[in-house]
Amino acid sequence: MGRRARLKQGVPKTLDEFKKEQKRAKRKSREAEYDSDSPPPVSKKPKPAGTKAQTKERGRENSETKKSAKGKGKALDDDDEWGGFDKEDGDLDALTKFQFEEDDQGDIGDGDIPADDDFLGDDDELIDRGPKKMLEFSDESGSDDNEGDDASASASDYDSDAPVTAKTMERQSRALEKKVAREAELDQEDVAAGNQQGDDMEDIAFFDLPTAEEREKEQETGAQPPEELLRRIHDCSKVLSDFKRLANKDRSRSEYVQQLLSDMENYYGYNAFLTEKLFNLFPVAEAIEFFEANEVPRPVTIRTNTLRTRRRDLAQALINRGVNLEPLGKWTNVGLQVFESSVPIGATPEYLAGHYMLQAASSFLPVMALNPQPEERILDMASAPGGKTTYISALMRNTGVVFANDANKARTKSLHANVHRLGCKNVVVCSYDGREFPKVIGGFDRVLLDAPCSGTGVISKDPSVKLTKSEKDFLLLGQLQRQLILCAIDSINPKSDKGAYVVYSTCSVTVDENESVVEYALKKRSNVELVPTGLEFGVEGFTKYQEKKFHKDMKLTRRYYPHVHNMDGFFVAKLKVHPPSPKKKDEEEPEENAAPEEPLFAWNNEEDEAIMKEEQRKQLLRKKGIKLRPKTTSPHKQPNPVAVA
Amino acid sequence: MRPLTEDESKAVFTKLANYIGKNLVHLIDRPDDPHCFRVHRDRVFYVSEKIMKLSISVSRDHLVSVGTCLGKFSKTAKFKLHITALDILAQYAKYKVWVKPNGEMPFLYGNHIAKAHLGRITEDTPEHQGVVVYSMSDVPLGFGVTARSTIDTRKLDPTGIIVFHQADVGEYLRDEDTLI
């Protein structure tokens, strides 16, 4: 504010405001007096007797322990209160000019002088006002008698009508502290009681957890209203989070889960298969957050084209056009987040001149993981509409070569347009089925495979995923992804000194499109290993999920969630391809293993020799043409003058 | 993908020379990174030789584009420059026209440039000369053909057309399907 504005007094208060202020001041002063002295005037609003009694009882139980602890602490507060008193005194002095206040407000600061008989007075007066007192403090007066000396002393101090003198000030201040402590105590207990009551109430409400039949009936008659569904979803999730304490005793956990799944299915509009699949990825509360996040769109983000402009200049130019934007985050130096824009962000002259590209934040990640360097040969197997390809080209500064492939010929049009708009000169656009690489051309330094997926991470962009994806889709996609990743690995030149990396990414959060596919690749290609992605944030990939167990390096992969990172659900894995190892090693090993093995049956070489000699003799005779008579049972040779060996 | 024939080369180079004149040599003869022109399905591509050699392995049916697409040949073998060639033209343009901020949007919608929108123009621009259109912040917006020479432009009234629209970057949105 300017100096003149500050120095101005401002508009004077209206009469009503003035009266209100006065009343407030009056009340404050009255309370202060009341605290230090004795029972409040009858005109004060009476609190319900019950609670007051309760508070008093509980307060007293702890007052003795609290007294010493809080006594010191509260001394300062007391001073403040006295201090505050004085301030109000000032106001009231000013107000005394007007004849609105009652007499009792006169001199509050001077405790010695009783300003009003109602407020101040002797103990006699206390007794006189017995009936009035009983309205409010009936229990108190009763319990007074029961208390011990200290407590009663404090109570009597509290209730005393004695004027505030130097002697009584200390006692009265201690009484005040105790009162405040008691009330704080009671507040906390109330809150705790309230909580317990709430949970207990839920327990009661869950008598009504519908059985399977009831659920079916409900579905036939038509779904519940959304508020009802949402309430049940939250109740179920709360019960499941603390099952031992909150669940109905004769209901199993699976029943609650079934109810929750059915409600989420109806409320969010998914099919049953997908609800369960996505639900099983997270703990209960997080699952609800995930589903909620899928209802809300992610922020619009753009990527500066470093071939044409700098982020600073682009931001300035767009701000001049009336776009409200901010840098996307510390992790990227080309990303900008658009909050609101008075011009269509996809049609500004800067956009048309190729200074930026509308691209989701999650799509930056696989290219950052790939980390392409200038003068490299890079393949992007599923590149339409070209956001990642143009980013790769920008990072390579238009050197080397990028093969931008997309199986869908119609989508190559937008790919071609974007490549030219952003000024990428080192791109070859082709339209093969990704599985035809490396037959077409191989020997790449890096390959990016942003595999076609179910799109469960981009439900906020495309809600049709909720209803159309079934088990069959996941099976078919899984098969396609496995084939593609093997082709990607085979397209790499493992001897490349520029790093033989494959980055596999999907815009999906399910395990059978992400970790399962990478695990398959690791099993099928023994010369491939997982390496760190180089992305500094993101949830680690699962090393085990339900009944599946994955390679321990799977935690090097990264997962991104809409409800955690505020970007589309995504998965990124970086693989390094090594030259295949020679096979000799494998052959030696089995031999070594076989040799020390115990033979199943023993060879007896001597017997064999005897038999073998016999057979040789017979063969010789047969050659000569001599007929051999069959041997008799006797092992000895029969006298056969002709058959002589 | 095949190299240009004699006639095709002539057509392309005359068209390009209209916009960049003698600088055409820089396009054809680049000692550090030799580029070449190739034709694929009636479209002319300007591409580095290294990349061209790699792209030979892509079969004819599956190849969509290589390097920079300059334009295409019509059925009657006339060559038409596309907006995708803007990068190259803007780099070597001889005659330039700058448009005022209020004239940017009409040009991007495909209209001709009127004198009222003219910001600057290079001196001694002859009539029917290919020019590259820039915004006041030196961002290339497209290209066109002058309707009048610079001297005549001065005599013209504000609504008179000075540059015929040939191509503008707005076509990336408007004609996305027909670009390729």
Tell me which DSSP letter residue A492 carries.
B
Mean pLDDT of B95-113: 93
Q: How confident is the model at residue B14 (pLDDT cuts 50, 70, 90)?
A: very high
ipTM computed for the complex: 0.96
Predicted confidence at residue A169, as pLDDT, reads: 85
Predicted confidence at residue A85, as pLDDT, reads: 43
B51, A423: Cβ pair inside 8 Å? no
Of the ranges A210-224, A281-295, A616-630, which one carries the lowest mean pLDDT score?
A210-224
Q: In the predicted model, what is the mean pLDDT of chain A?
A: 78
B87, A414: Cβ pair inside 8 Å? no
Which of B173, B167, B157 is CA-nearest to residue B84?
B167
pLDDT at A402 over 70: yes
| Residue count of chain A | 645
Mean pLDDT of A373-385: 94
> Is A421 an interface residue toward B (CB < 8 Å)?
yes
β-pairing verdict for A570-577 and B35-40: unpaired
Q: How confident is the model at residue A208 (pLDDT cuts 50, 70, 90)?
A: low
Residues in CB range of A88: below 8 A, 6 or more apart: A25, A28, A29, A32, A108
- Smallest CA–CA distance, residue A316 to chain B, in Å, is 12
* Residues of chain A with C-beta less than 8 angstroms from the C-beta of B48: 425-426
Task: Tell me the C-alpha distance between B64 and B60, whole Å.
Answer: 9
Predicted confidence at residue A249, as pLDDT, reads: 77
Residues in CB range of A49: below 8 A, 6 or more apart: A135, A136, A138, A139
Mean pLDDT of B98-118: 93
B62, A430: Cβ pair inside 8 Å? yes
Q: What share of chain A is helix, strand, coil (3-state, %, to 5)?
A: 55, 10, 35
Mean pLDDT of A48-68: 46
Tell me which DSSP letter residue A541 carries.
P
Q: What are the pLDDT digits (tens) for A245-260?
A: 877 777 888 888 888 8
Task: Tell me the C-alpha distance between A39 and A157, whole Å.
Answer: 11
Predicted confidence at residue A472, as pLDDT, reads: 93
Q: How confident is the model at residue A584 (pLDDT cuts 50, 70, 90)?
A: low
A413, B180: Cβ pair inside 8 Å? yes
> Is A358 an interface residue toward B (CB < 8 Å)?
no
* Residues of chain B with C-beta less than 8 angstroms from the C-beta of A357: none
Cα separations in angstroms, B98 against A83, A546, B121, B136, B143: 74, 64, 6, 6, 11
B180, A428: Cβ pair inside 8 Å? no
Closest CB from A347, A354, A431 relative to B62: A431
Which of A100-104, A599-603, B103-107, B174-178 is most confident?
B103-107
Tell me which DSSP letter residue B143 carries.
E
Predicted confidence at residue B140, as pLDDT, reads: 94
Predicted confidence at residue A142, as pLDDT, reads: 40
B66, A428: Cβ pair inside 8 Å? yes
pLDDT at B78 over 50: yes
Decide if A507 is catalytic.
Answer: yes
Give Rg (Cα) of chain B: 17
Predicted confidence at residue A196, as pLDDT, reads: 53
Mean pLDDT of B39-66: 94
DSSP 3-state assignment of A197?
helix
Predicted confidence at residue A23, as pLDDT, reads: 84
Q: How confident is the model at residue A542 (pLDDT cuts 50, 70, 90)?
A: very high
Q: How confident is the model at residue A192 (pLDDT cuts 50, 70, 90)?
A: low
Which of A47-51, A92-96, A612-616, B175-179 is most confident?
A612-616
- Smallest CA–CA distance, residue B160 to chain A, in Å, is 24
Of the ranges A118-127, A196-205, A463-472, which one carries the lowest mean pLDDT score?
A118-127
pLDDT at A132 over 50: no
Residue of B nearest to A410 (CA): B177
- Smallest CA–CA distance, residue B34 to chain A, in Å, is 13
Predicted confidence at residue A305, as pLDDT, reads: 96
Task: Tell me the C-alpha distance between A450 and A25, whole Å.
Answer: 70
A415, B137: Cβ pair inside 8 Å? no
- Smallest CA–CA distance, residue B155 to chain A, in Å, is 30
Closest CB from B62, B137, B179 relative to A413: B179
Predicted confidence at residue A626, as pLDDT, reads: 82
Predicted confidence at residue A572, as pLDDT, reads: 96
Residue of A nearest to B137 (CA): A317
A309 vs A213 pLDDT, higher one = A309
Do A298 and A328 meet the contact criterion of CB atoms below 8 Å apart?
no
pLDDT at A118 over 70: no
pLDDT at A73 over 60: no
Count how many pairs of residues, chain A against chain B, have C-beta atoms within 8 Å: 95
Mean pLDDT of A29-57: 51
Cα separations in angstroms, A543 against A453, A516, B95: 21, 10, 63
Predicted confidence at residue A631, as pLDDT, reads: 66
Residue of A nearest to B179 (CA): A417
Q: What are the pLDDT digits (tens) for B163-178?
A: 999 999 999 988 888 8
DSSP 3-state assignment of A449?
strand
Q: How confident is the model at residue A184 (pLDDT cuts 50, 70, 90)?
A: confident
Predicted confidence at residue A637, as pLDDT, reads: 53
Closest CB from B58, B84, B173 relative to A440: B58
The B residues from 23 to 62 touching A (CB cutoff 8 Å) are: 47-48, 50-51, 54-55, 57-59, 62
pLDDT at A223 over 90: no
* Residues of chain A with C-beta less than 8 angstroms from the C-beta of B66: 428-429
**Amino acid letter, residue A639:** P
> Is A401 an interface residue toward B (CB < 8 Å)?
yes
Side-chain-facing half-sphere of A18: CA atoms under 13 Å: 11
Of the ranges A19-33, A282-296, A372-386, which one carries the lowest mean pLDDT score?
A19-33
Measured from the Cβ of residue A313, the count of other Cβ atoms closer than 10 Å reads 14
Residue of B nearest to A346 (CA): B173
Question: Could you tell me what percent of chain A has a pLDDT over 70?
Answer: 71
B172, A417: Cβ pair inside 8 Å? yes
Best residue in B40, B41, B49, B58 to probe A by mutation, most A CBs within 10 Å? B58
A184 vs A297 pLDDT, higher one = A297
- Smallest CA–CA distance, residue A506 to chain B, in Å, is 25
Kindly report each contact of residues A548-557 with a partner whose C-beta sits within 8 Å and lies 24 or more positions away, as own/partner. A548/A511, A548/A515, A548/A516, A548/A519, A550/A515, A550/A516, A550/A518, A550/A519, A551/A519, A551/A522, A553/A529, A554/A515, A554/A518, A554/A519, A554/A530, A556/A530, A556/A531, A556/A532, A557/A514, A557/A515, A557/A518, A557/A530, A557/A533
Closest CB from B54, B64, B177 relative to A429: B64
Q: What share of chain B is helix, strand, coil (3-state, %, to 5)?
A: 35, 30, 30
Task: Tell me the C-alpha distance between B175 and A150, whole Å.
Answer: 92
Closest CB from B55, B137, B180 relative to A416: B180
B172, A441: Cβ pair inside 8 Å? no
A427, B177: Cβ pair inside 8 Å? no
Predicted confidence at residue A93, as pLDDT, reads: 53
pLDDT at A504 over 90: yes
pLDDT at A84 over 70: no
Task: Tell me the C-alpha distance between A536 and A331, whole Å.
Answer: 8
Give residue for tokens 């004695």: A162
Which of A109-118, A218-227, A635-644, B49-58 is most confident?
B49-58
pLDDT at A138 over 90: no
pLDDT at A643 over 80: no
* Residues of chain B with C-beta less than 8 angstroms from the C-beta of A352: 108, 141, 169-170, 172-173
Question: Could you tell me what percent of chain B has a pLDDT over 90?
Answer: 81
**Amino acid letter, residue A112:** D
Mean pLDDT of A542-558: 93
How far, rounded to the nearest angstrom, does the alpha carbon of residue A484 sit from its chain's CA centroid?
A: 31
List the catalytic residue out of A236, A453, A487, A507: A507
Q: How confident is the model at residue A122 (pLDDT cuts 50, 70, 90)?
A: very low
B64, A423: Cβ pair inside 8 Å? no
B139, A349: Cβ pair inside 8 Å? yes
Do A572 and A517 meet the contact criterion of CB atoms below 8 Å apart?
no
- Residue A125 zone, left/alpha/beta (φ > 0; ψ -120 to 50; rest): alpha
Q: How confident is the model at residue A161 (pLDDT cuts 50, 70, 90)?
A: low
Closest CB from A350, A409, A421 relative to B172: A421
Mean pLDDT of A513-533: 94
Of the ranges A96-110, A199-213, A532-546, which one carries the lowest mean pLDDT score?
A96-110
